[in-house]
Structure 1
């Protein structure tokens, strides 16, 4: 197998993850609208959607056609994830909020690593000089920093109250 083959697989897998995080961010934002968390999530969801489009552009510039199947499977997986147990028979729970925020912050950290990998290991910084990988890395760090305090607060709310009951 050549390098291009591996890069094609890697980029398509990462695109699917980006679509999954975008969907999760949008759903979590809708569940928390009209709150400070909802406002933060709206900004982060917009940034993640922009990152997905930037990623698609990088794939085009690298000559790699995006898979249709993998992003579709990611959307289906996100929808199936809604069926997980959350401590309530129906509806959104504090545990839902915490796990979704935790998953989003992990995904954003993974995206930061992705941009670093593409820049440093895949050599795309020299192949695609118009792509500002440093700015993408900084944007991922800012997205994570925006969500982390909300994630900590959500975790404290459920785990502190669960110890007293």
Structure 2
């Protein structure tokens, strides 16, 4: 078992934890609206993808170590602190930056699935998942996030603070 494969898989597992926490915050802050609906759907999809990733990690002998879990937790808290510092009112800038962070994470996940698909011919532990379907799902997720990101950008960046 490649130690690099284990690290790669567990890094993405940690990233999914951070994404889920950010999505839970978005869902709670935007109750009953389109953002909450998108967040809820993404949460469900990420849980499903996480099952695939956990299965691959198990087949590869990779486990989430305490230092990786801690690093993931610290990174997610750092993102939340940065968002809070930039926009303490939970306004449009925080929303914009939240959607950008999620979009970058989804792109990283799309690249994960592509890398695993490319190596599955040489690594028996990577055989099994529908990588094409997972890649298509990530592309769909990015499109859905982009709709909200652009709306938040329009509101956050539309006019200078003094209204001129």
Deviation for aligned residue 1:13: 1.7
Q: Distance in 2 between matches of 1:102 and 1:125?
A: 33
Task: Tell me what 2:81 maps to.
Answer: 83
Deviates more, 1:33-42 or 1:155-164: 155-164
CA separation of 1:82/1:54 partners in 2, compared to 1, >3 Å: closer, same or farther? same
Q: Distance in 1 between matches of 2:13 and 2:122?
A: 16
Contact (CA 8 Å) 2:114, 2:135: kept in 1 or not?
Answer: yes
Q: Distance in 1 between matches of 2:156 and 2:101?
A: 16
Aligned pair count? 161
Deviation for aligned residue 1:48: 1.6
The partner residue of 2:71 within 61, 64, 73 is: 73
The partner residue of 2:15 within 14, 17, 28 is: 17
Q: Which runs of 5+ in 1 are unaligned?
A: none
In the TM superposition, what are the counterparts of 1:1-165 in structure 2 within 5 Å?
A: 4-84=2-82, 85-88=85-88, 91-121=89-119, 123=121, 127-162=125-160, 164-165=163-164
**What is the SS of the residue equivalent to 1:161?**
coil
Q: TM-score, normalised by structure 1?
A: 0.86
Deviates more, 1:63-72 or 1:6-15: 63-72
Q: Distance in 1 between matches of 2:147 and 2:44?
A: 19
1:34-58 CA distances to partner (integer Å, 9 max, x unpaired)?
1111111110122122222321111
Deviation for aligned residue 1:104: 0.4
Q: Distance in 1 between matches of 2:135 and 2:3?
A: 25
Q: Distance in 1 between matches of 2:38 and 2:54?
A: 24
Contact (CA 8 Å) 1:22, 1:48: kept in 2 or not?
Answer: yes
1:3-42 CA distances to partner (integer Å, 9 max, x unpaired)?
7121122222222122211221222222222111111111
